[in-house]
Structure 1
Amino acid sequence: MDKVNVTEKFKLFNEHWSPKIVGEVNDAHIKLAKLKGEFEWHYHEKEDEMFFVIKGRLLLRLRDKDIWLEEGEFFIVPRGVEHLPIAKEEVHVLFVEPKTTLNTGTEITERTVTDLPTL
Structure 2
Amino acid sequence: MNAAIDLAGKLATFSEAWQPRTVSLFNGHDVMVAKLRGDYHWHVHDDSDDFFLVLAGSLEIDLDDGTTVTLGPGQLYVVPQGMRHRPRAPHEAQIMLIERTGTPNSGHLATAAPRRVI
Measured against the shorter chain, the TM-score band is over 0.9
Runs (4 or more) in structure 1 with deviation over 6 Å come to none
Q: Which runs of 5+ in 1 are unaligned?
A: none
Corresponding residue SS for 2:14: coil
Corresponding residue SS for 1:8: helix
Q: Which runs of 5+ in 2 are unaligned?
A: none
| Counterpart amino acid of residue 91 in structure 1 | A
Pairwise CA distance, 1:100: 2.4
**In the TM superposition, what are the counterparts of 1:101-112 in structure 2 within 5 Å?**
101-106=103-108, 108-109=110-111, 112=112
Count of matched residue pairs: 116
**Which residue in 1 is equivalent to 2:9?**
8
State the distance in 2 between where 1:101 and 1:78 align.
14
| Counterpart amino acid of residue 79 in structure 2 | V
**Which residue in 1 is equivalent to 2:56?**
55
Corresponding residue SS for 2:34: strand
Corresponding residue SS for 2:9: helix
Pairwise CA distance, 1:108: 2.9
- State which of 61, 78, 101 in structure 2 corresponds to 1:76: 78
Give the % identical residues. 31
CA deviation string 1:15-44 (max 9, x = no partner): 000010000001100011100000000010
Pairwise CA distance, 1:107: 6.6
Pairwise CA distance, 1:6: 0.5
